[in-house]
Each structure stands twice: as structure tokens, then as C-alpha cells.
A and B are shown apart, each in its own frame.
Chain A
């Protein structure tokens, strides 16, 4: 589908915000020997990115006059739930930041508000991911893998942001972060590899036979009924990415989001800033590919049926046998 700026900004920055809050939570429980100045800088980063992401979501609505109705379908709509959870997360996070600024001696309250915000942030990321994962027509996204990838992206980008801030604030707040960030990058890379496979299977699983009633026959589209790229009135569809663009896009994701942070980790704290830039670019590009490379079921009426050879072949004098591999 069409990758739009507000959606990319919302999903990415919401992930960064919660990822940083996860680091703050770990710091509160003593995972890293950090100064309170660094922790508070992390919390400001989480608040800033969360606020920016939440603001971007407003631009995805094309009729703000109806926005007052957005919580009507909490029982069934993940988008309603997303509005509530993201709003709730930002409200509690704002309280935590305000407590630190206005009432610094109330450390217990600040910690409680911060932990509550981190918990709500996890719920918000989960709900955002479920919004995509629960759409059966989006064949590429309709998988639990989508939720796992969203969390992995959030953790990697949050760790990267926290590492850059720690390097900037200096002091003792840097121990262990480069290694953790590299580990998160490797996990993210493995999940992206799984996602590439899932997306190819989804593209091959759009069935011309059930979409047209032309069972078992390859077909070529003569006329899509007036639909042509860039499909301005049908934003669920997006021109199929050329193989070269897809390959180079995913290669760039793996280089930026996996190789970059790992190389940066080898430099220790010196590499935290550029490692963060590399990770953020990689995660952003992966989210762009998440939208641009997705296959919607309606593609069956927008493009020719791909020519996939039969997995069954018969050789003279031998029974049918299944091929060992299928090129997707």
C-alpha cells in the first residue's frame, strides 16, 4: 500500500518513544550505572518523539471535524484503541516529565509515573501493531510476525536513541549500551529476514482462481476498469516494486539497521551517535518497505497473474512427483 508520511512518522516515533522508555525502566531497575541527568534526558527524548508521532497522526485524518467520534468503536476497532492507548501513554508520560520538572523531590511518584508510562507505551505499540496484523486483506501483514517486528524495531530505535543521548550527556551513563544495541540489531535483522520471506509468500498467495473464477488459468489484465498507478482513489494498492528496488531496499535495511549498529558497537561509546543514526535510518527504511512491499488481496484485479510453475511435474514413465523447491 501507499506509504504515507503521517503513518511512517507515527509508527516510527511511537516506537522510538516506547523503546527509550523501556531503557529508562531498565535504568530505574539498575540495569545500567546511569546518572539521573541521563535518565531525565532519555525521558525528554521519549516525550518529544512521542509527542511528535502523536501530532503526525492528526495529519492522517482528512476530516478533523469528525475526530470527536474516534473512540466510538473501542469494542471492535484497533484504530479507536490506538487513539486511546497512544493518548493515554502520552498523558501519563507528560505527568512523569512534569513531576520531574515541577516537583523533583518526589522521586517515588516520578518513578511510579514513569513505570506506568512505560507499561502503557508497550500497550500502545502492541495495539498499533495489531491494527496492521489483524487485517486479513493485507496478506503480508496478517501475521503475528508483524507484532514481533514492531516491538523489535521499537527496541532497536529506542536503544539507539538512548545510546546517542548517553554519549551526548557524557558521564557514567554509557556502560553496556553498545553491546545491547548490537544484540537488538541482530535480532531485528533476523526478524526482517523472516518478514521478507513472509511477504514473498503473501504475494504468491493472492489467488487468481478464487479472485476471478478462472480456475487454474493464467490471466492477463486487459483493463482494470479505469484504475491506473498511482491509484489515487484506491490507496490500499501500490504498484508492485521492481525486483531490483525490492532487493536493494532490503539490502539497505540490513546494512543500516544491522551492520551499522554492530560496527558502531565495536567502537564502544565513540560509535553510539553514528550507530544511532544508522539504526534509525535502517528502521525507517524497513518501515517504508513494510508499507511499499505489502500485498493487498485486491491486487488480483490490478495486475497480471504471476507465472508460477506448477509444483507438480511428470516425467515420462514416472509417477507425478513434487518439485523440491518453488521459485517465488
Chain B
């Protein structure tokens, strides 16, 4: 089993609901807190899931894309073998990469080894933290089954994110990756990420003012 999240880049509108809900859940969750030690002077704090906004292309052919980026829970996670204490590990039963804070010495070598820059250093606790795929939620049997999914998946208003087992050929995530050419980030670095993205479709063509007026007129 390899749990994963598939993000459809066509549906992501960059609302940052996933970024905020991740922080909200994990600040009080088993692996938190996700701290902001000085939020009024330094707006940037710790985020395990960051939505990156980028403007692509050149005028007049310009587009905006949003890329939610958290731990990729790689098959060959480079952060795991470099850890001297074994604090970073990958679970055999579901493929989730986790950090044991009790064994972490805070050397940050795993942050250098991670190609995706998704590990965060908590200088107050002296440990490295990261996305846990909300392991405390998905294994919490006291929750109803529909709630046993990562906070970012549950909060997405456009259903851009889908959670499931990538190695189950009948799962929704496996179907999405197979049928929609799901891709991974920086494949050339050999980490084999489990997290996939669905590529954007071709942008719609130009909409002229007359069409806008006509559509608006039809609606009124």
C-alpha cells in the first residue's frame, strides 16, 4: 500500500484552504504544533503544505497556476537513509514518511536531502517537522470513514485533491494517474514521489467582449 494525494491542477484555484486547514489540524494534532513564533513581525511561519502561485508565459499569452506542495511521501525517500538516528522513516504498511521527534537531533541533513523543500525546521523544539498525510486522522477509528482523510483533501472546495492507495489498481487515485497522465515533480532526481499532479488541459481560447455580453444577456 502506498497512500497518496492526487492534485488536479485544472481545479486548484489557489484559495489556500488546504494550506490553512493543514495548519489548523496539525497545530493541535499528534505531530504538531506547526508554529508561528513571531507572527506579527515575521509573517512566514511553519507550513507543511504550501500553495505556490506562479505566473507562466509571456504577455499576451500569460496564465496563472497554483501548485500545492507538501511532502511527496516518496518511494525512495532520500530523507530517510541520510538520517543518522533513524528518526526519519517510511512506514512499511502504508508508505507514509514520518519523523520520530524523540530520536531527531535537529541536524537538518534530511532537509538538504529532500529535493522538494517540504521539510520544516522548528528551531524552538530543535526538530524537523513535515506533512504526515494526517496519519492521526486516517488511522483514527473513532472518526466516521468519510473523515478519515487528510485535512487538505477534506477542505478543498473544488475537490481538486483525491486521497487513496496508489498501488490499488481499482482506486480512484490509480485511475486518475493512469487515465489523465498524472506526473510527479523533479523525476530526474530519482526519489519516485508518491504524490502526483494531473496536468493542466489546454487553456480556453479568447473570449471577446461580444460573447461576454451575449452570455450575460442570456442569463438575465
- Contact flags (1/0) for B40-64 with A, using CB distance below 8 Å? 0011111100111111111000001
Bound-state Cα–Cα, A227 to B49, Å: 11
Bound-state Cα–Cα, A112 to B197, Å: 60
B115 at interface (Cβ–Cβ under 8 A)?
yes
A37 at interface (Cβ–Cβ under 8 A)?
no
Least CB distance, B31 to chain A, in whole angstroms: 15
B116 at interface (Cβ–Cβ under 8 A)?
yes
Q: Is the CB of A222 within 8 A of B64?
A: yes
Known: A210-B188, A233-B122. A227 touches B44 (CB 8 A): yes
In the complex, chain A residues whose CB is within 8 Å of the CB of B64: 222
Q: Is the CB of B44 within 8 A of A228?
A: yes
User: 8 nearest interchain CB pairs?
Assistant: A225-B50, A298-B117, A62-B106, A62-B126, A76-B81, A69-B85, A223-B53, A137-B115
Residue of B nearest to A220 (CB): B55
Residue of A nearest to B110 (CB): A236
Interface size counted on chain A using CB atoms at 8 A: 54
Interface residues in B57-88 by Cβ distance below 8 A to A read: 57-58, 64-65, 67, 69, 78, 81-87
A217 at interface (Cβ–Cβ under 8 A)?
yes
Q: Is the CB of B53 within 8 A of A137?
A: no
Q: Given A70-B105, A136-B78, 19 other A-B contacts at CB below 8 A?
A: A1-B112, A60-B107, A66-B105, A78-B82, A79-B84, A135-B78, A212-B54, A212-B56, A213-B185, A218-B56, A224-B50, A232-B121, A233-B44, A233-B46, A233-B123, A234-B111, A234-B117, A298-B117, A301-B52
Interface residues in A109-142 by Cβ distance below 8 A to B read: 131, 135-138
Q: Is the CB of B121 within 8 A of A234?
A: yes
Which of the residues A77, A138, A221, A302 comes within 8 Å of B112, measured between beta carbons?
A: A138
In the complex, chain B residues whose CB is within 8 Å of the CB of A232: 42, 44, 121, 123
- Contact flags (1/0) for A30-43 with B, using CB distance below 8 Å? 00000000000000
B residues with a Cβ closer than 8 A to A are 9, 19, 42-47, 50-58, 64-65, 67, 69, 78, 81-87, 102-109, 111-123, 125-127, 183, 185-190, 197, 199-200
A residues with a Cβ closer than 8 A to B are 1, 60-64, 66-67, 69-73, 76-80, 83, 131, 135-138, 207, 210-214, 217-228, 232-237, 296-298, 300-302
In the complex, chain A residues whose CB is within 8 Å of the CB of B78: 135-137
Bound-state Cα–Cα, A109 to B126, Å: 44
Least CB distance, B202 to chain A, in whole angstroms: 13
Bound-state Cα–Cα, A237 to B43, Å: 18
Q: Is the CB of B105 within 8 A of A62?
A: yes
Least CB distance, A169 to chain B, in whole angstroms: 39
Q: Is the CB of A217 within 8 A of B56?
A: yes
7 A-B pairs whose Cβ atoms sit less than 8 Å apart in the complex: A62-B107, A221-B52, A223-B52, A224-B50, A226-B19, A226-B43, A233-B46
Residue of B nearest to A79 (CB): B84
Known: A66-B87, A136-B190, A297-B186. A217 touches B57 (CB 8 A): yes
Q: Is the CB of B112 within 8 A of A214?
A: no
Least CB distance, B112 to chain A, in whole angstroms: 5
Bound-state Cα–Cα, A235 to B118, Å: 11
Residue of B nearest to A205 (CB): B188
Least CB distance, B48 to chain A, in whole angstroms: 10
Q: Is the CB of B113 within 8 A of A137?
A: yes
Q: Is the CB of B187 within 8 A of A66?
A: no
Residue of A nearest to B187 (CB): A210
Q: Is the CB of A76 within 8 A of B117?
A: no
Which of the residues A225, A233, A237 comes within 8 Å of B19, measured between beta carbons?
A: A225
Known: A69-B86, A78-B82, A222-B55. A296 touches B117 (CB 8 A): yes
Bound-state Cα–Cα, A72 to B100, Å: 14
In the complex, chain B residues whose CB is within 8 Å of the CB of A237: 117
In the complex, chain B residues whose CB is within 8 Å of the CB of A62: 105-107, 123, 126-127
Q: Is the CB of B103 within 8 A of A236?
A: no
Q: Is the CB of B84 within 8 A of A77?
A: yes
Least CB distance, A303 to chain B, in whole angstroms: 11
In the complex, chain B residues whose CB is within 8 Å of the CB of A218: 56-58
Known: A61-B105, A77-B83, A222-B53. A298 touches B115 (CB 8 A): yes
Residue of B nearest to A70 (CB): B84
Q: Is the CB of A213 within 8 A of B85?
A: no
In the complex, chain A residues whose CB is within 8 Å of the CB of B117: 234, 236-237, 296-298, 301-302
Q: Is the CB of A79 within 8 A of B107?
A: yes
Least CB distance, B83 to chain A, in whole angstroms: 6
